[in-house]
Amino acid sequence: MLKNNIVIAIDGPAGSGKSSIAKIIAKKFSFLYIDTGAMYRALTLKVINLKIDINDQKAIQNLVNSTTISYDKDENLLIDKKLVTDAIRQQKITDLVKKIASSQIIRTFLVDMQRIIGKQKNSIIDGRDIGTVVFPDADLKIFLTSSVEVRAQRRLLQNQENNINLNYNLNEIKTMISIRDQNDTNRKIGALKIAQDGILVDSSKLTFKETEEKIINLMKQKGVINEK
């Protein structure tokens, strides 16, 4: 039997597999999986659809004041009660989301939403600063990482399986990931870093199943699930 209102934070760099692991574990233990990146993408979609100037602070404030973020009964992300699962994966969203995420107004709004939603039921939340900023009091804070080489290989395989970004070779992907790591680590807002009481999990030499089992064991050790 699980305790009530558990929050597990999984932070890590791009390509570390945090979203895939979080989804699997959430499903296994009936936790709500909260993809914070998807929330920023959803706001980006709304900015594009409404043709809002992202440099117009008043317009951005009006935007968040009129926005609702929620999940349906199947735990799909909704913005203003509309399902946006597929729409937020468009390339135009990817191109703009970084700038949207740098808005302090949008960030404050989404962090508030993440805290409200995350406290409604047992939740696993992945991102870049969940354990350091969004939920500094999380019951378990994991920093999931792996080497640039391993993450690049995983991303290349993922691209091939999904038939996307096929023009990028392994070295190009490694370069992009390295640049992303540097940018994420040096952000003024929401920088990527491990929480002081976070637990580092390096999956460079682990299979997906081994990584999953390691995190589940940490959950047991922290008492967020009962030992079996």
Q: Are residues 187 and 220 in the same domain?
A: yes
Q: Are residues 115 and 128 in the same domain?
A: no
64, 91, 120 - which closes a domain: 120
- Averaged pLDDT of the chain: 92
End-to-end CA distance of the chain: 10
The whole domain housing 2 covers: 1-31+123-228
Residue 165 confidence (pLDDT) above 80: no
Number of domains into which the chain is organized: 2
120, 149, 182 - which closes a domain: 120
Q: Are residues 160 and 225 in the same domain?
A: yes
Q: Are residues 52 and 158 in the same domain?
A: no
Q: Taking each helix axis from N to C terminus, what angle separates 208-222 and 18-28, rounded to the nearest 10 degrees?
A: 60
pTM of the model: 0.90
Q: Are residues 129 and 114 in the same domain?
A: no
Average pLDDT over residues 194-203: 97
Residue 89 confidence (pLDDT) above 60: yes
pLDDT of residue 1: 45
